[in-house]
Amino acid sequence: MARPRRRSRRASSPAEHRAPSGGDRARVPEPIGEVHGVDAANLPDIVEAGTPPELGGARGARAMVRATARLSVLAAVVGIAAGLGTAVFITGLNLVVSSVDNVRSSLAWWLIVIFPPIGGLAVGLLLWRADRVAFVSACGTDSFIDAVEEADGRIPRRVPILRTVGAWLTIGFGGSSGRECPMIYTGSGLGSTVAMTLEGWRARAPRPVAAFLDLSPADTRMLAICGAAGALGAVFSAPFGGAIFAVEVPYRRDIDMGIFIPALVSSLTGFAVGALLVGRQRLLDASGVHALTWQEWVLVALIAGAASLVARLFAWWFNHFHDVVRHTRERHRLPAWAQPALGGLLAGLVMLAFPQVYGIGEQAVRDIADGRLFTGHTLAVATLLFVGLGLAKMAATAFTVGTGGVGGLLFPSFFVGAALGGLAANLSHGLDPGPFSNHLAIVLIAMSATYAAAGKVPLAALLLLCEATAATGNVALVLPLMAANLVAFALSGRPSVYDVQRETSARHHRGYGLALCVLVAVVLLNHFVVTL
């Protein structure tokens, strides 16, 4: 019996594939083109560029945990650097301020006018020789926003040193500005420096370490934001407020919560390092504020509306003056290095009328909150003085920062809000002192609402002020603060003291819903801890 033939295992060639028969048609090979190797590097993307793949199940959960742990470690390193930088900044600033005050106290009071232009001239010469780009942005927060939105967080290494020294000279010699915004840009510069340093180490590191240090542009941007959060958490003693601020301030009507966890890790780390080295920075103690009466709630609504108008005025005046200075510089009518000196001279003239606006002005804010400022005057005179004080702070800040002085607009906005709160408390108490006994609460509500509207940061303004005044767990104060912030923010329109803010974030984010959940959790947690 013949054995059956075994089928050959040889694969058929492409030419052996035949078209199906069709009557008398000749059978011809089907043309399928030439065969080439596949280059994986040139395969088309099946997802949009920059979009992370969506992983599900246990594998996706493990990948998410590993990525979060990696970013948290990097954020903690940046937070340590930001905390150390903040400690150096605060120590140096206190030294310069005390030295200048010792000299100023030995001179006639009206010579206050000469100190801001001296500091402005020194800052102008420093930046003209080392960092002329600093004259383009209005303040440190504007520079931070441009860096994270346009340059993926890459900031020159010299920026932290230059901005630190520039802020020492500006604020130390009485320039009307805040210390928070310079530290925001300085902290982001430190975060960028850490990222670039790690990239340099990666080339010489073993393979597992090199993979850990492999930073994408999104990672570099994240570390710059974490540096800003760490610096603000340290300088304002506000770990949660620093994290929320860093992800909220780049946008007028949005908040990027996609990197909130790394920002919070960095802010907590920076806060811990700063508190360990220079102590906690307390503005006031508002933990004992009691519940508001219904008359005071009506006053809160009026304050919120007034705060939106004050914020619009401040934003318009500051941005308009900065544009005038920029156009003057571009027409070569005034050297850039002389701008801060001229601005300091104008600010010094304002300080002759209202010396309370000299420097940061923390003591004046405390006096307003305690009801000690402008006492002994009639109601009409005190009203005019509070209005003049707020306008004077706006003008002096625009003259100082708008001409190139290194400073910020966060605390000046709080100062202007404190003047508004002092005015509201003074008027309400003068009309009927019975229902309006929460003087401190009224001032704090006006401060928070003014900055929420001026900087477009309703959540950050609330947390920053609450943490700086030990009032985070005081629900009786947090609720009216939140209400006033939201109303003032909604009525403030588009004008902002940070003119470079984007409208919304183009990146993946979870928005205000998650941010509000975080806010509620922080308030409830602090309230539970306080009541234990």
Specify the higher pLDDT residue, 257 or 231.
Answer: 231
Residue whose structure tokens are 């920029």: 326
**What pLDDT score was predicted for residue 344?**
94
Task: Work out the pLDDT band at 95, boundaries 50, 70, 90.
Answer: very high
518 forms bridges with which residues in the sheet? none
Residues 6+ apart with CB under 8 A from 126: 162, 165, 166, 169
User: According to the model, what pLDDT value does residue 293 have?
Assistant: 87
Give pLDDT tens digits for 328-363.
Answer: 877 877 788 889 999 999 999 999 999 999 999 999
Q: Please determine, for residue 175, whether its predicted confidence score (pLDDT) is greater than 60.
A: yes
Amino acid at 71: L
Q: Considering only residues 181 and 461, tell me which one the structure prediction assigns the higher pLDDT.
A: 461
Predicted pLDDT of residue 526? 66
Tokens of 74: 């990097």
Q: How confident is the model at residue 418 (pLDDT cuts 50, 70, 90)?
A: very high
The token pair that represents 289 in the structure block? 């504020």
Q: Amino acid identity of 40? A: A
- Mean pLDDT for 177-197 is 88
Do 63-278 and 294-531 come out as alike in CATH topology? yes
CATH class of 294-531: mainly alpha
Decide if 78 contacts 222 (C-beta within 8 A): no
Poorest-pLDDT segment among 437-441, 475-479, 515-519: 515-519
For the segment 123-141, the average pLDDT, to the nearest whole number, is: 81
Residue 507's pLDDT is 64
CA atoms 424, 346, 313, 441: torsion sign: negative
Mean pLDDT over 417-442 rounds to 87
Pick 529 or 94 by higher pLDDT.
94
**Average model confidence (pLDDT) across the chain:** 83
pLDDT of residue 9: 44
Mean pLDDT for 131-139 is 74
In the block, residue with structure tokens 């920075």: 281
Query: pLDDT tens digits, residue range 441-488?
Result: 999 999 999 999 999 999 999 999 988 887 777 778 889 999 999 999
Residue 423: name the closest of 393, 380, 454, 460 by CA.
380
pLDDT of residue 251 exceeding 80: yes
- Which pair of tokens denotes residue 41? 């590097």
pTM: 0.84
In CATH terms, 63-278 corresponds, of 1.10.443.10, 1.10.760.10, 1.10.10.10, 1.10.3080.10, to 1.10.3080.10
Q: Is the separation of the CB atoms in 335 and 325 below 8 Å?
A: no
In the chain, domain spans: 63-278, 294-531
Structure confidence at residue 50 (pLDDT): 46
What is the model's pLDDT at position 48? 47
- b/e sequence 118-131, b meaning 16+ C-beta within 10 Å: bbbbbbbebbbeeb
Exposed/middle/buried for residue 455 (C-beta within 10 Å: 0-12, 13-18, 19+): buried
> In the chain, pLDDT over 70 holds for what percent of residues?
84
Q: What is the Cα–Cα distance from 509 to 249, expressed in whole angstroms?
A: 14
Spatial distance between the Cα atoms of 240 and 264, rounded to a whole number of angstroms: 7
Stretch among 118-122, 190-194, 328-332 having the lowest mean pLDDT: 328-332
Rounded to the nearest 10 degrees, what angle do helices 217-235 and 239-248 cross at? Answer: 140
CB 466 within 8 A of CB 241: yes
